[in-house]
């Protein structure tokens, strides 16, 4: 099977393409707020659950602890989060949103709402529910594979 034919039957290709395209569009939508798409999950988690440890943040965002530490350092430099020592466990850092992050919450959620509306433009409610359900199954398969890989 040639390269083009493989792409036409590849779920991985489609997922990768969707990820790159939606990421590029989201970057443009967030630019006016001075936020990069990669920063968004950390900001939203800090806003939703202030006081998470860095390790909890890494687990919730789904990236390595090292990548989370680097991202949080950059967000701290940008004045969007603070990291303080956990008084109960001095080895842990607690992540809190700053006032600037709280001011950005409503505009960022508006960007995300508009982005999600665009993703499902011209989908019926049933098609949207079906698409989300199928994506949830793919996410589950990926998480299971990753967990099995890590435990082998």
Distance from chain centroid for Cα 2: 34
**Per-residue confidence (pLDDT) for residue 2, from 0 to 100:** 82
pLDDT in tens, 122-147: 999 999 999 999 999 999 999 899 88
**Per-residue confidence (pLDDT) for residue 80, from 0 to 100:** 97
Which residue in the block uniquely carries the two structure tokens 């390595």?
64
Q: Domain 3-119: which topology?
A: Arc Repressor Mutant, subunit A (1.10.10)
Q: Which residues of the chain have pLDDT under 50?
A: none
Domain limits, the chain: 3-119
**Per-residue confidence (pLDDT) for residue 3, from 0 to 100:** 81
Q: What is the number of helices (H) and of strands (E) in the chain? A: 7, 3
**Per-residue confidence (pLDDT) for residue 133, from 0 to 100:** 97
Tokens of 21: 């395209």
pLDDT in tens, 48-58: 999 999 999 99
Residue 96 dihedral angles phi and psi, to the nearest 5°: -130, 145
**Per-residue confidence (pLDDT) for residue 149, from 0 to 100:** 87
**Per-residue confidence (pLDDT) for residue 106, from 0 to 100:** 96
Strand partners, 95: 52, 83
**Per-residue confidence (pLDDT) for residue 146, from 0 to 100:** 87
């Amino acid at each position: 099977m040639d390269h083009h034919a493989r792409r036409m039957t590849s779920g991985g290709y489609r997922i990768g393409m969707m990820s790159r395209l939606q990421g590029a569009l989201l970057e443009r939508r967030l630019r006016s707020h001075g936020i990069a798409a990669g920063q968004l999950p950390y900001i939203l988690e800090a806003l939703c659950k202030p006081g998470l440890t860095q390790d909890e943040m890494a687990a919730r965002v789904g990236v390595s602890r090292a990548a989370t530490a680097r991202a949080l350092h950059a967000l701290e430099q940008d004045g969007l989060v603070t990291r303080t020592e956990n008084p109960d466990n001095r080895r842990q850092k607690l992540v809190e949103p700053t006032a600037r992050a709280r001011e950005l919450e409503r505009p960022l959620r508006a960007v995300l709402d508009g982005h999600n509306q665009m993703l499902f433009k011209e989908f019926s409610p049933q098609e949207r529910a079906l698409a989300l359900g199928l994506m949830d199954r793919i996410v589950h398969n990926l998480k299971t594979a990753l967990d099995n890989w890590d435990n082998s």
